[in-house]
Chain A
Amino acid sequence: MTVLDVRGVSKRFGGLQALSDVTFSVGEGQIVGLIGPNGAGKTTFFSTLVGLIRPDRGSIALDGRSIVGAKPHRVAAYGMTKTFQNVALFGDCTVLDNVLTAGLLRHDVQAARDEACRSLDRVGLLAIADKQADTLSFPERARVELARALCTGPKVLLLDEVMAALNPVEMREIMTLIRSLRDDGITLLVVEHHMRAIMAICDRILVLNFGKLLADGTPKEIAGHPEVIEAYLGQSMEKHR
């Protein structure tokens, strides 16, 4: 069943065509990777999906309901949220309060606290729940982002580079977590630069280049796609080794 349906989405910023005619749909319970060189429009695309940026053209439907023009909090209530690439925690608040605030979307304060503890437990940060968010390391903060997004109870979760700066052990933990979220019925869109990780967890990969969808296929197909190799993999594998 299709949970997210994107048709002809375009967005221009001045002279820059950030997104042009992006079309694809995602079935429930898939893990979809979104890759592309820096500046390809991945983060802009995520921001457009959750309503932070309004597309110039095109339609976006979540669970059959059109969400173009809906404010981000409505989109979150309908069941789609994202993490922020450069981490946008509530720095002055504790880790628990960061996650709890997201839980208030569907629960009262007491239930949101329980829900937040469960989310923190899943990302393995329950032990530092009382720490102030801006005292954490970058990888820890990225995981709090994940827990916070999770605590909104999403159907579709957009993860923008949650594995950046993780060591191999931490990365394996996050990959296991992403798979377990999928097993819970959550559909995931994952932006990640680490190719081996993305190849390993994704059912399907979308390649974005200069705001255009360049390729759409299984990890195997993408790895052998000549245009993708030319536009992205050859150059980027060097850079991100």
Chain B
Amino acid sequence: MKRWMLPLTALAIALLLPLLLDPRGYWIRVLAFTFLFAAMAQAWNIVGGLANQTSLGHAAFFGIGAYTSTVLLLKFGISPWIGMIAAAGLGGVAAFAIAIPTMRLQGHYFALATLAFGEVLRVVANVWTSVTGGASGISVPFSSPSLLTYSFKLLRPHAYVALAALVIVTVIFEIVRRSAMGYRLRAIKENPAAAEVIGIDTAKVKLQAAIVSGMLMAMLGTLYAQVAVFFDPDTVFSAASISIRVALIAILGGIGTPVGPILGAFFIIPLEELMNDWFSASAAGLSQLTFGLILIAVILWRPRGFVTLFKSLSSRFGGASA
């Protein structure tokens, strides 16, 4: 089997999926968000996976992206596509700002510092009502539906835009992974002192990775704003439902690999929806409890992510061909 067969098959299925689901239904929305969260986890994967710096603050860049394009559209009528580029710029600046003080931190300390950064921005967005509209939220103004205005009546085109974003971010991740930067990030992950001694400017490489990751995350924030149409600071800057969820998706799927975040997203996002669907009527807390129990079971079963499932399957069945 050729190496490109699997990704190509997966892409073909992904292209077909939106056509099979009811365009006015609930599951096409779940699918669009699954693509979007897979792309977000993939952007996180550049820092969290390759350099193993577990950021719990990626909601910061996401929220910046959502607000940048929406405010530009609302106040100046600027197209969300251009807003997305502005979002990338601001996301990159924010990533630079947070990377400078946290660069020397490792493990739990890095995670906590980034978590705090995301929370600070959430509070700021809640208070800065003149720009963000504060806690009451912000509505994305309706434009005549077209690809150019990035406004659609139905969710199907949104699903395709999110899929395109996933493909692009995955390609960028793969380019980074195979480049000199990818090798350097893995070296930093494995042994920062040894990486320095063999000539890697660890501070610079971490900074570059953080900026790329932050820019992509902010652009995905713009996508979210256009799909959600309405949002508030507690949603887009959320530690639990953005930062931690994105990290969880990548970790559960398998960090440092291009496939991991995609597998993770296709497991977690639909599962969450199913749990809500089944239990919310009977007992609200039960869905989270069951969701949590399933996560624990899965992590115990595959501590290094779903990707390892592929490896053990291919060594069992494809040993001769591999």
Within the assembled complex, what's the spacing in Å between the Cα atoms of A100 and B183? Answer: 8
Contacts of A31 in B (CB 8 A): none
Q: Are B186 and A76 in contact, with the CB atoms below 8 A? A: no
Within the assembled complex, what's the spacing in Å between the Cα atoms of A104 and B197? Answer: 13
State the Cβ distance, B101 to closest chain A Cβ, in Å. 18
Contacts of A89 in B (CB 8 A): 190-191, 194
Contacts of B125 in A (CB 8 A): none
Nearest A-chain residue to B202, judged by Cβ:
A73
Chain B, 176-224, CB within 8 A of any chain A CB: 178-180, 183-184, 186-187, 189-191, 193-202
State the Cβ distance, A131 to closest chain B Cβ, in Å. 15
Q: Are B184 and A90 in contact, with the CB atoms below 8 A? A: no
Contacts of B196 in A (CB 8 A): 51-52, 71-73, 76
Contacts of B197 in A (CB 8 A): 50, 52, 72-73, 76, 81-82, 84
A175 within 8 A of B: no
Contacts of B194 in A (CB 8 A): 84, 88-90
Q: Are B201 and A101 in contact, with the CB atoms below 8 A? A: no
Within the assembled complex, what's the spacing in Å between the Cα atoms of A100 and B186? Answer: 12
Nearest B-chain residue to A84, judged by Cβ:
B194
Within the assembled complex, what's the spacing in Å between the Cα atoms of A72 and B191? Answer: 14
State the Cβ distance, A69 to closest chain B Cβ, in Å. 14
Q: Are A102 and B193 in contact, with the CB atoms below 8 A? A: no
A93 within 8 A of B: yes
Nearest A-chain residue to B185, judged by Cβ:
A101
Q: Are A90 and B199 in contact, with the CB atoms below 8 A? A: no
How many residues of B are counted as interface, with CB atoms below 8 angstroms from the partner's CB atoms? 20
State the Cβ distance, A240 to closest chain B Cβ, in Å. 27
Within the assembled complex, what's the spacing in Å between the Cα atoms of A52 and B195? Answer: 11
Within the assembled complex, what's the spacing in Å between the Cα atoms of A149 and B196? Answer: 12
Q: Are B183 and A76 in contact, with the CB atoms below 8 A? A: no
A193 within 8 A of B: no
Q: Are A81 and B198 in contact, with the CB atoms below 8 A? A: yes
Q: Mark A152-172, 1 if CB is under 8 A from B, else 0.
A: 100000000000000000000
State the Cβ distance, B85 to closest chain A Cβ, in Å. 29
Q: Which of A72, A76, A93, A112 has the most CB of B within 10 A?
A: A72
Q: Are A73 and B180 in contact, with the CB atoms below 8 A? A: no
Nearest B-chain residue to A148, judged by Cβ:
B198
Contacts of A27 in B (CB 8 A): none
Interchain CB contact (< 8 A) of A109 among B180, B189, B198, B199:
B180
Q: Are B193 and A101 in contact, with the CB atoms below 8 A? A: no
Interchain CB contact (< 8 A) of B183 among A52, A101, A148, A149:
A101
A105 within 8 A of B: yes
Q: Which of B180, B194, B200 has the most CB of A within 10 A?
A: B194
Q: Are B179 and A101 in contact, with the CB atoms below 8 A? A: no
A39 within 8 A of B: no
With A97-B183, A100-B183, A104-B184: A73-B190 Cβ-Cβ less than 8 Å: no
A185 within 8 A of B: no
Contacts of B191 in A (CB 8 A): 88-90
A226 within 8 A of B: no
A92 within 8 A of B: yes
Chain B, 201-249, CB within 8 A of any chain A CB: 201-202
Within the assembled complex, what's the spacing in Å between the Cα atoms of A176 and B253? Answer: 48
Q: Are B193 and A88 in contact, with the CB atoms below 8 A? A: yes
Within the assembled complex, what's the spacing in Å between the Cα atoms of A97 and B200? Answer: 14
Nearest A-chain residue to B190, judged by Cβ:
A90
Q: Are A104 and B201 in contact, with the CB atoms below 8 A? A: no
State the Cβ distance, B221 to closest chain A Cβ, in Å. 32
Q: Are B190 and A76 in contact, with the CB atoms below 8 A? A: no
Q: Are A93 and B201 in contact, with the CB atoms below 8 A? A: no
Closest 4 CB pairs of A and B: A105-B199, A76-B199, A90-B190, A88-B194
Task: A73-B202, A89-B191, A92-B189 given; name 19 further pairs at CB < 8 Å.
Answer: A50-B197, A52-B197, A71-B201, A72-B193, A73-B200, A76-B196, A76-B199, A81-B199, A88-B191, A88-B194, A89-B194, A90-B189, A91-B190, A93-B186, A101-B183, A101-B184, A101-B187, A104-B180, A109-B179
Interface residues of A (CB under 8 A from B): 50-52, 71-73, 76-77, 81-82, 84, 88-93, 97, 100-102, 104-105, 108-109, 112, 148-149, 151-152
What are 26 of the A-B contact pairs (CB < 8 Å)? Answer: A71-B196, A72-B193, A72-B196, A73-B196, A73-B202, A76-B198, A76-B199, A88-B193, A88-B194, A89-B190, A90-B190, A90-B194, A91-B190, A93-B186, A101-B183, A101-B184, A101-B198, A101-B200, A104-B183, A104-B184, A104-B200, A108-B180, A109-B179, A109-B183, A148-B198, A152-B198
